[in-house]
Amino acid sequence: MQWLYHVIGQVGIFLICAQTLIHFRPRESYEKYLKLLLSVMLLIQLLQPLLTVLGGDEIAGADVQAAEFAEEIRTVLEQAAVQAEQTEDEIQAVTDTVAEVTEETEPPDASDPVEIRVEIPEIEEAEIKIR
């Protein structure tokens, strides 16, 4: 019965606001459009509790579906967090491995002397003419 008092209170407040809006309308020519709009809004407010009473199972089903959907989203987000943590661990492991390999195969310092050996085969004498 409490919901009925709540609906009556909402409709009463809406009617007071609607009459205030009609009273302070900018032009008299807008009155019929304004009344039509307010009447439709009032009908929606009155039909909403009636539809809830008549089709309450569908509306309650929507609440259950919304709760299930929220739980599914929560589960997916938790799985995503776990996967992100695993990915971060894998990236850290690869980074550590690369750092170890880099330390083991340090490139020679530019100031260190480098020994290069070049062998030049003997070239037969040939006559070269330049023009």
Highest-scoring range by mean pLDDT, 1-10, 25-34, 39-48: 39-48
pLDDT for the residue numbered 126: 54
Any domain includes 126:
no
What CA–CA distances, in Å, run from 12 to 3, 19, 22, 39, 71? 14, 11, 15, 13, 38
The model carries a pTM of 0.39
Count CB atoms within 10 A of the CB of residue 70. Answer: 10
Residues 17 and 48 in one domain: yes
pLDDT for the residue numbered 110: 60
Any domain includes 104:
no
Q: Which range marks the domain in which residue 26 is found?
A: 1-55
Residues 36 and 79 in one domain: no
Give mean pLDDT, residues 75-93: 89
Residues whose CB is less than 8 angstroms from the CB of residue 31 and which lie 6 or more positions away in sequence, other chains included? 22, 25
Residues 9 and 45 in one domain: yes
pLDDT for the residue numbered 25: 78
Domain tally for the chain? 2
From the list 84, 80, 10, 88, the residue with the least C-alpha distance to 42 is 10
Residues 41 and 71 in one domain: no
Any domain includes 103:
no
**Rounded CA separation 42/48 (Å):** 10
Any domain includes 80:
yes
Any domain includes 14:
yes
| 49 or 88, which is more confident | 88
Q: Is the pLDDT of residue 58 over 60?
A: no
Any domain includes 60:
no
**Rounded CA separation 46/42 (Å):** 6
